[in-house]
Amino acid sequence: MPHPGSANSAPAAVRHVPATFGQVEIRQDPAWEQAFAAFLKDSERRQELLALFSRFSAGESAFDALMRRVAMRALCKRAGHGLQVGPNVVVKHPETFELGDCVFIGAQAMIQGRFDGTCKIGSHVWIGPQAYFDARNLVLEDYVGWGPGAKLLGSVHTGIPLDTPLIATGLEIKPVTVGFGADIGMNASILPGVHIGAHAIVGSGAVVTHDVPDYAIAAGVPARVIRDRRDKSLGQGEIRC
């Protein structure tokens, strides 16, 4: 078998580019678009709005993207300006969602609310593709970055009594909060009841079972705090984990 790929694999240089999403400034959506969403919200039942959203969920035209934003705005309890919703996103109980401005929801992500739950997502929050949120009692503060495939669980079965199948035992819904400017690594798992501090970083593939302090870097399974970002003796460059 030939091996032509090798010719392509010479080491390439690291490139430095400015942040794009995190630097975006809020611009008001056009008045007609806001009015369109308000009209839909007033005139359609929730089930029909969700069906409308799904009609445009897979499309890649500019019109599809517009209709996803409008339908989400009509579906959510509150949604700010500049919302972007990627293709194949799935939502449950969006009537409990409160979204800030400039929120990005990546392709194939799922946000699963609960009929009596709360889900607050701040402004300038970036949610990567294939993310999953069990958003029964969730707060993502402003400027949170959520890695591709990272997942969050918001509830746990009690497991009592022992000989009852776990999924038939009672459920504890525990609030999860992610602080201002925190960053959650690709494929990480955040478990029920956890608070991630402001400016904290959670490593890729980490499984976070306990609170992470402000400015901490936590990594591993289960996640341990491996560094304080404010400790200058350790250097700041190497934050992958």
CA distance 178 to 31: 32
Structure tokens at 66: 């517009």
CA distance 154 to 69: 26
Range 66-85, binding a second copy (CB under 8 A): none
CA distance 137 to 206: 21
Instruction: Determine which residue in the list 110, 213, 224, 225 makes contact with a second copy, applying CB under 8 A.
Output: 110
Instruction: Check binding of 240 to a second copy (CB under 8 A).
Output: yes
CA distance 216 to 230: 8
Known catalytic membership, residue 157? yes
Choice between 156 and 225, CB closer to a second copy: 156
CA distances from 238 to 23, 58, 80, 195, 202 (A): 22, 37, 35, 24, 13
Q: Which amino acid is at 232?
A: K
What's the closest the beta carbon of residue 89 comes to a second copy, in angstroms? 9
Decide: helix, strand or coil at residue 42. Answer: helix
Instruction: Check binding of 4 to a second copy (CB under 8 A).
Output: yes
What's the closest the beta carbon of residue 165 comes to a second copy, in angstroms? 3
Contact in structure between 210 and 190 (CB atoms under 8 Å): no
Instruction: Determine which residue in the list 36, 205, 212, 227 makes contact with a second copy, applying CB under 8 A.
Output: 205
Label residue 46 left, alpha or beta by phi (over 0 means left) and psi (-120 to 50 means alpha): alpha
Range 23-42, binding a second copy (CB under 8 A): 23
> For the residues of 147-201, what is the DSSP string, one character each?
-TT-EE--EEE---STTS-GGGS-EEE--EEE-TT-EE-TT-EE-TT-EEPTT-E
Number of residues counted as binding a second copy (CB under 8 A): 120
What's the closest the beta carbon of residue 221 comes to a second copy, in angstroms? 5
Choice between 10 and 31, CB closer to a second copy: 10
Residue 83's Cβ-count burial label (10 Å; 0-12, 13-18, 19+) is: buried
The catalytic residue among 3, 16, 124, 157 is 157
Range 143-202, binding a second copy (CB under 8 A): 143-145, 147-149, 151, 153, 156-160, 162-175, 177, 179-183, 185-187, 189, 191-193, 195, 199, 201
What's the closest the beta carbon of residue 68 comes to a second copy, in angstroms? 12
Instruction: Determine which residue in the list 40, 66, 77, 123 makes contact with a second copy, applying CB under 8 A.
Output: 123
Choice between 31 and 37, CB closer to a second copy: 37
What's the closest the beta carbon of residue 79 comes to a second copy, in angstroms? 15
Active site residues: 157
